[in-house]
């Protein structure tokens, strides 16, 4: 299952990670977010130990959503060494996310 990312644990989990980090910016009322949620959880399971997979609830974490300039959801970011290396807007299929993550392992 994907980790819940909040302002309080963002630096520790995301910025200090020595692995690539996939962040899913989502909200409970968002249909496409609910559609991609099982994919995100599967990635978290499949990439355990190789990458960090986290979810940021934009309704609860306005500061993080603003920091990443999230205008629509779901928005997915891949960070490496604290820097954004990929940005995807909208639900994405599992295979595409695997391809993007593998590129940064």
Q: Which positions are annotated as active-site residues?
A: 30, 33
Element (H, E) at 35: helix 31-46
Nearest in space to 16 (alpha carbons), one of 81, 64, 104, 105 = 81
> In this structure, are residues 14 and 23 in contact, taking their beta carbons and an 8 Å threshold?
yes
């Amino acid at each position: 299952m994907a980790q819940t990312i909040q302002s309080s644990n963002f630096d520790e989990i995301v910025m200090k990670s020595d692995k690539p980090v996939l962040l899913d910016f989502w909200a409970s009322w968002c249909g496409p977010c609910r559609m991609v949620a099982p994919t995100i959880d599967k990635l978290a399971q499949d990439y355990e130990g190789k990458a960090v997979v986290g979810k940021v609830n934009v309704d609860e974490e306005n500061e993080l959503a603003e920091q990443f300039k999230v205008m629509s959801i779901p928005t997915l970011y891949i960070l490496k060494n604290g820097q954004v290396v990929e940005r995807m807007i909208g639900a994405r299929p599992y295979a595409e996310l695997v391809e993007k993550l593998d590129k940064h392992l």
